[in-house]
Structure 1
Amino acid sequence: MIRVLFVDDHEMVRIGVSAYLTTQEDIDVIAEAENGQDAVDLALSLRPDVILMDLVMDGMDGIEATRQIIAKWPEAKILIVTSFIDDDKVYPALEAGATSYLLKTSKADVIARAIRDTYNGESVLEKEVTAKMMAKFSSSHDVPLHDSLTKREMEILLLIAEGKTNQEIADQLFIALKTAKVHVSNILSKLEVQDRTQAAVYVYQNNLL
Structure 2
Amino acid sequence: MAGEAADGREAVEIGTGADVVLMDVRMPGMDGLTAPRELVRRSPATRVIVVTTFENDQLVWGALRAGAAGYVLKRAPAAELVEAIRLVHARDAVLFPDALRRIASPHSGTARPHAPIELTPRELDVLRHIALGQNNTEIAVTLHITRETVKTHVRNVLDKLGARDRTQAAVLAYELGLVFAGTLAGTGAEERRDGRWR
Q: Same fold (TM over 0.5)?
A: yes
1:70-127 CA distance string (max 9 Å, x none): 2233332111112244453122111111111111111121111111111121211273
- Paired with 2:148 and 2:46, the residues of 1 have a C-alpha distance of 18
Which of these residues, 143, 147, 152, is aligned with residue 173 of structure 1? 152
Cα deviations by residue, 1:184-205 (Å, 9 ceiling, x for unpaired):
32xx7xxxxx922325663984
Correspondence for 1:183 among 129, 142, 160: 160
What SS does the corresponding residue of 1:130 show, helix, strand or coil? helix
| One-letter amino acid matched to 2:12 | V
AA matched with 2:160? H
Aligned to 1:40: 12
| Distance (whole Å) between structure 2 residues aligned to residue 52 and residue 147 of structure 1 | 33
Mean Cα displacement is larger for which, 150-159 or 77-86?
150-159
Aligned-residue identity in percent? 27
Q: 1:197 to 1:126 in 2, by over 3 A?
A: closer
Q: CA distance change for structure 1 residues 43 and 170 in 2, over 3 Å: closer, same or farther?
A: farther
Counterpart Cα distance in 2 of 1:49 and 1:149: 31
Number of paired residues? 162
How many Å separate the matches in 1 of 2:183 and 2:47?
Answer: 23
1:78 and 1:133 map into 2 onto residues whose CA distance is: 19
What's the CA shift string for 1:17-69, capped at 9, x where partnerless? xxxxxxxxxxxxx111111111111122xx22211111112211222110111
Alignment check: 8 A CA contact 1:103 1:126 kept: no
| 3-state SS, counterpart of residue 195 of structure 1 | helix
Question: Please, what TM-score do these two structures have when normalized by structure 1?
Answer: 0.59
Contact persistence 2:24–2:50 (CA under 8 A): yes
Out of 77, 83, 91, the position equivalent to 2:61 is 91
Distance 1:133 1:84 in 2: 14
Q: Is the Cα contact below 8 Å between 1:33 and 1:39 reproduced in 2?
A: yes
Tell me how far apart the structure 2 counterparts of residues 60 and 114 of structure 1 sit (CA, whole Å).
24
Contact 1:99/1:124 (<8 A) preserved: yes
Change in CA separation of 1:73 and 1:159 when aligned onto 2, cut-off 3 Å = farther
Amino acid at match of 1:58: P
Amino acid at match of 1:34: A
Structure 1 residue runs of 4+, over 6 Å off? Answer: 145-148, 168-171
Change (3 A) 1:119 1:101: same
Q: Give the aligned CA root-mean-square deviation in angstroms.
A: 4.0
